[in-house]
Amino acid sequence: DRVTWFDAAERKIAGDRYTYGFDQTKDHWTQFEAYQEAFEKDPETTVSVPDGYTAPFYKADREREMREAHAYFKQRLDEAVSKGLWDPEKMEVPTR
């Protein structure tokens, strides 16, 4: 994840050839590195983003995403238990 970024359209661009984004080439990553270096020095840079990508770029926050997913699925489970749609003791759908 340390060399994986996403653009404004959630298109992945990665520095590891085993995790390249869809239609990503090696040149895209080289263009991205040049853009990032220029952007860090001057956010108003005229260096263009890689072909087919849209600024701004962001890194995934996996820890936050997993916390949100856990909270969402825990809420769904709690609702199912309270409605009698899931038995947490037997770990199965109750028979009626």
pTM, entire model? 0.69
CB 12 within 8 Å of CB 18: no
46 and 93 within one domain: no
Q: How confident is the model at residue 96 (pLDDT cuts 50, 70, 90)?
A: low
Structural domain containing residue 37 = 1-60
| Domain total of the chain | 2
Tens of pLDDT, residues 2-56: 889 999 999 999 999 899 999 999 999 999 999 999 999 999 999 999 999 999 9
Query: Are 1 and 31 in the same domain?
Result: yes
Assess whether 55 and 71 both reside in one domain: no
Contact 12, 25 (CB under 8 A): no
Q: 46 and 5 share a domain?
A: yes
38, 70: one domain: no
Indicate if 22 and 65 belong to the same structural domain. no
- How many other C-beta atoms are found inside a 10 Å radius of the C-beta of residue 5? 21
Residue 12 DSSP label: E
Q: How many residues does the chain have?
A: 96
